[in-house]
Amino acid sequence: MRSPLTPNRRTSPCCFSSRYKGNKGASHWLMRLQRRSLYLHPTAFQKKKKKRYVESVVICIAFKRMQSLQICTICPARLKMGCRRTDCLAKPLSGLFEKLGSLVGSCPFYFFVIPVLLSAALSGGFIFLKDREDNDLEQQFTPTKGPSKATRAFIRENFPYNDSMFSGDRLYDKGNFASLIAVSTDNSNVLANPAFEDIIRLNNKILNITVDDGRLGFNELCAKANGECVSNVILEIVGANEANQTSINYPVSTFRSSSVCMGSVLGGVITDASDSVISARAVKLFYYLENQGSASEASKSWLRGFKALLSDETDSKHTDVSYYTSKSKQEEIDSHTTDGFPLFLITYASAITFSVISCLRLDNVRNKVWVAVFGVFSSGLAVLSSFGLLLYIGVPFVITVANSPFLILGIGLNNMFIMVSDWQHTNVEDPVPKRMAHTYKEAIMSITITAVTDVLKFSIGVKSDFPSVQSFCLYTSASIMFCYVYTITFFGAFLALNGRREASNRHWLTCVKIPSDNPDDCSEMYNICCVGGDYDKNTGAEKKQPASNFFKDYYGPFLIKPWVKAAVIFLYLVYLTISIYGCFHVQQGIELNDLAADKSHVTIFNKKDRQHFSDYGPSVMVIVSEEFPYWDETKRFQLHGCIEDFTRLHFVDKDVYTSWLDSYLSYGQERYLNLDDKDEFLKNLFHFFDLYPFLKQDVNLTGDAIFASRFFIQTVDITNASMEMEMLHVLRTTASRCRAASLSVYNQKFIFMDQYDVVVSSTIKNVGVITAVMLVVSLLLIPNPICSLWVTCSIGSVTAGVTGFMVLWDVSLDSISMIIFTVCIGFTVDFSAHISYAFVSSNKQSPDDKAVDALSNLGYPILQGALSTILGVSVLATSKFHTFRTFFKLFFLVMLIGMVHGLVFIPIFLTSISCCSDKDESEDKKLKISKL
C-alpha cells in the first residue's frame, strides 16, 4: 500500500475550480494539512534545514487530497508560465469515442453492413452523371461577379449586334466560328506556291460543306456584311497581288479603299523597309457563322462537318494545318470529364498494393492484409456515397471534381494507418470491445481534428467566386464527412471482426485455428505458414514492426540530440528563405487550352496561335460608358487626351486605331462643318453614318444625346498569360485615371482574364480561413495552446514552401492550381495535428521523451500515409491533362513538405518551446526528490 507521503506521478497542483463544492475551500485544506505536518514532524518544522521538507510534505498531502476529491490539476510549470488548457471538448469527446469503440467492438456486424447498404443505395446517383456535367468555360471557370461581365452587359445593351453588318472586332462574345492555321512545312513562304495552292484547295473544300441534307452550305449560314458573306480578305489580297503585282503592307494594308489589319491573319512575317511583306510563315483563316434564331442549330451542324473534314485532311502536302471551332474547347472538356476515373482506379489499385505490403506481418495471426484492403475500400465507399448523394440532389459535376477522389483516398489511408497503429498498442489478451474502446479513445480524436478542419474549410469554399470551386468544395466536403463516418463505422467494424479472428488465433487467410507455438514434430515450412499469434509478453501488445522500432530506438533519440536540433533549425531557416524567395517569382495566369488534352486539336491550335500570331494580340474596346458632350471642344480635347494615354502604352500599336469621332471630325473638316455646335454635330452625324455604316455600331445615339460610344486599340506582343494579366491591369488603370469621362475596356477574352484579380486574393483568403479554423479547432481539441499554435504555424510554413517550390516545377497560380493548392494545404494539417496531439498526450515527463514517444507511435503511420498517397497520385504524372498533372505536382510537394514538417521540424519545435520548459522540469525533479 502506498504511503501518504509517497509522491504520485500524476499529482500536480492546479485549478481549484473543481467538482469540490463544499463550504471549505482549497485554502482550508492547506491549513489543515499544515497543522497535520506540524504534528507529525514538530522538530523538523522548527529546524531551518528541514523547512523545505515540511513544505514538500504539505504540498504533497494537499495535492493528494485534492486528487481524491477529483479536483482538476495542472502541472506547476504550466501554472508558473501562465499556460492554460483550452481543450474543453477533448475529454468528453474521448469518453464518447471510447464508448463508441466498445459498442463497435461488441456489435461489429451492424456497423459493417449498414455503410455497405447505404453506399449501394446512394451509388445510384451516378446514373445522373451525364445530366449533371457542367463544364461551361465561362460559367464555371470565371469569377461570378467579374468586372468584364458587367462591362459586357453594358455593351450588349448599348451596342447590340447588327446582323447585316458583321464585324469580328465588335463581337462581345465568341459567337459561332471556325478557324484554321496553315504553316508552311519547309520554312518557305506560305503565300507562294505550292503552299498557297494547298490553302486555296482546302478553303474551297470548306466552303462546299453542307448540312441539312445538302440544302444549307456556308453561303446560307455565314455571317454577312452589306449582304455578302464575311470572307477571308487575305486570300483575295494575295490573289490580287499575284495578278496585279502590288505589294501587301504589314500590319495594315489597303484593299478596295478600306484598311485591313493583317496582324491577326499573317504570322512569321518578314517585311522590307517600306513595310511590304516579303514572306510569311503562317496564315490564319476565319469562317464566321450566324448565331441567331433557327440558323444556330444548323451552324453547329456545319461546325461539326468542318471538324470532321479537317480531322481527316491529308491533301495538304506543303502546309501543316491545325483547326479550331468555337465549340471545340467545350466539346473537348465535356468528352473528358470522367477521364479521371480510370486514373482513380489505377491509383486505387496502387494504394491497395502499397497498403497491403506495409501492413504485412510475418505472424499468420497478426497479419493485417485484409485490414489494409478494407481500409482502402472504406475510402472508395465514401467517394461512392458522397458523389452519388450530390448527383441525386443535382449539384453540377465539373471536371475539377475529378480530383476529389484522390484527396479522399489520401485522407482515408492516413486514418487507417493511425487506427491500426493504436490497435497494435492495445493488450492482445483484452476482449475486443475493450481493445476497440482504447483504440477509438486514442486514434479518433486525432482523426476528428483533421476531419473537422477539412469540412469547415471546404464548407467556407462553397462561397468562392468560382462556380467550379463551389462544386469541388461541395463534393469534397461531403466525401470527407462520409470518409470520417465510414472510418469509425465500416472500417472500425472490420477492425473488430479482424480482432475477433486474432483473439481466436485463426489464420489470416483460411480463418482456421492454428497453434501459437512452433510444434516440435512439424517442418520448418509448416511453422512459417501455419503458426502465429505471438506478442510482446512484457507489454501485452503486438510486437512492434521494425519501422516503428526504428523511430523509437534510432530516429527519435538521434533527432533530439542538441547538435541535430541546431542543424534542423538551420535547415529550416534555409528552407524558409528559399520558399519566401520563390513566392515572389510565381507566375500567374491560365492558358485555357490547359483544360484540354495535350495532343488535342484545341491544344495544337492554341500553341501555333501563340507561336506565330503573338505579335498582335486582341483588339480592345475603349468604352465611354456615360453621356458625353462630344461637340464641346474642351471636353472633347480632354477625352482625346485620355485615348492617347492608351495609344502610348508599350503593348499598344498607336498606328492601328479605330475612332468614329476622329473619322467624323475629319469628315466635318473636309466639308467645313461646325462640329462644335451641338445641333450641327448631331444633324450631320446621320449623314456620316450613311457613308460609314460600320462606325454606326460604335455610337448609342438616342434622341439628342450620345449615351455611350466606343473606340478600338490594337494590342501587340502578348505572348503568354502573365503578359495578358499585366495588359489587363494596365488598361484598367489607364481607364480609371481619365477625368474627362467614365471609361472601361473590353474584349471577349477579358471574361477569362478576370480571374487574375481574384486568384491571388482568393488563395490568400482560403489559406487565412484554413489557418483560423485550424487554430480554433486545435485549441478546443489539443490539450496545449502552444502546441495548437505550432500546428497552425505549420500551415503557413508549408504554404510558403509549396508556393516557393512551384517555381521550380513550372506551375502557375491560376483558378485550377488555386483549387488544388487550397486542397493540399488543408491536407497537410493532418501530419502536424497528429504528431502534436501525440506529443501532448504522451505520459512522458520531459519534452524530448514526449517527442520520441510521439514519433514511436505515429512516425511510421505518417510515413505510410504520405508514401502511399504519393505513390497513389504518381499515376497522375502520366495524364494527358494539365489539370491532373498539376494536381500531382502540388500534391507531391505538399505531402513531401508536410511529412518533413511532421517528422522533423514540428518535433524539434515542440521540444524547444513548450509549456514545460527544461528549467521547470528540473524544478519538478527537485520537488520529487525533496518529497522522497
Which DSSP letter does residue 544 get?
P
Q: How confident is the model at residue 122 (pLDDT cuts 50, 70, 90)?
A: very high
Query: Which residues partner with 253 through β-bridges?
Result: 260
Which DSSP letter does residue 809 get?
G
State pLDDT tens for residues 560-611. Answer: 999 999 999 999 999 999 988 888 887 766 665 666 677 777 888 888 888 8
Contact between 932 and 58 (Cβ < 8 Å): no
pLDDT(822) > 60: yes
**Residue that wins the pLDDT comparison between 194 and 759:** 194
pLDDT (mean) for 850-868 = 84
Q: How confident is the model at residue 931 (pLDDT cuts 50, 70, 90)?
A: very low
All 3 cell numbers of residue 281? Answer: 510563315
Q: What is the pLDDT of residue 333?
A: 60
Lowest mean pLDDT among 5-19, 60-74, 283-297, 525-539: 5-19
Q: What is the pLDDT of residue 515?
A: 86
Q: What is the pLDDT of residue 246?
A: 59
Contact between 416 and 487 (Cβ < 8 Å): yes
pLDDT(550) > 50: yes
Q: Which of 767, 775, 718 is nearest to 747 (CA)?
A: 718
* Calpha distance 830→774 (Å, rounded): 11
pLDDT(66) > 50: no
Q: How confident is the model at residue 802 (pLDDT cuts 50, 70, 90)?
A: confident
Within 13 Å, how many C-alpha atoms sit on residue 750's CB side? 27
Domain limits of the chain?
Answer: 85-131+360-532, 175-325, 602-750
* Calpha distance 272→220 (Å, rounded): 41
Q: What is the pLDDT of residue 378?
A: 94
pLDDT (mean) for 144-161 = 90
pLDDT (mean) for 371-390 = 93
pLDDT(28) > 70: no
pLDDT(920) > 80: no
Q: What is the pLDDT of residue 293?
A: 64
Q: What is the pLDDT of residue 17?
A: 39
SS3 515: coil
SS3 617: strand
State pLDDT tens for residues 384-430. Answer: 999 999 999 999 998 778 878 877 887 888 889 889 988 988 999 99
pLDDT(97) > 70: yes
pLDDT(146) > 60: yes
Q: What is the pLDDT of residue 491?
A: 96
Q: What is the pLDDT of residue 284?
A: 92
Share of the chain above pLDDT 90, in %: 27
Q: How confident is the model at residue 249 (pLDDT cuts 50, 70, 90)?
A: confident
Contact between 506 and 512 (Cβ < 8 Å): yes
**Residue that wins the pLDDT comparison between 449 and 672:** 672
Q: What is the pLDDT of residue 575?
A: 92
**Residue that wins the pLDDT comparison between 313 and 651:** 651
State pLDDT tens for residues 877-915. Answer: 877 777 778 888 888 888 888 889 889 998 998 887 654
pLDDT(532) > 90: no
Q: What is the pLDDT of residue 241?
A: 65
pLDDT(24) > 70: no
pLDDT (mean) for 334-361 = 72
pLDDT(922) > 70: no
SS3 300: helix
Q: How confident is the model at residue 328 (pLDDT cuts 50, 70, 90)?
A: low
pLDDT (mean) for 857-878 = 80
* Calpha distance 759→589 (Å, rounded): 9
Close Cβ partners of 527 (under 8 Å, ≥ 6 residues apart): 518, 519
**Residue that wins the pLDDT comparison between 835 and 245:** 835
All 3 cell numbers of residue 19? Answer: 467538482
Within 13 Å, how many C-alpha atoms sit on residue 691's CB side? 10
Give residue for cell 456486424: 109
Q: How confident is the model at residue 145 (pLDDT cuts 50, 70, 90)?
A: confident
pLDDT (mean) for 89-98 = 84
Mean pLDDT of all residues belonging to the chain: 80
State pLDDT tens for residues 626-664. Answer: 999 999 999 999 999 999 999 999 999 888 889 999 999
Task: Name the residue type at position 481.
Answer: M
Q: What is the pLDDT of residue 436?
A: 95
Q: What is the pLDDT of residue 85?
A: 54
CATH topology assigned to domain 85-131+360-532: Multidrug efflux transporter AcrB transmembrane fold (1.20.1640)
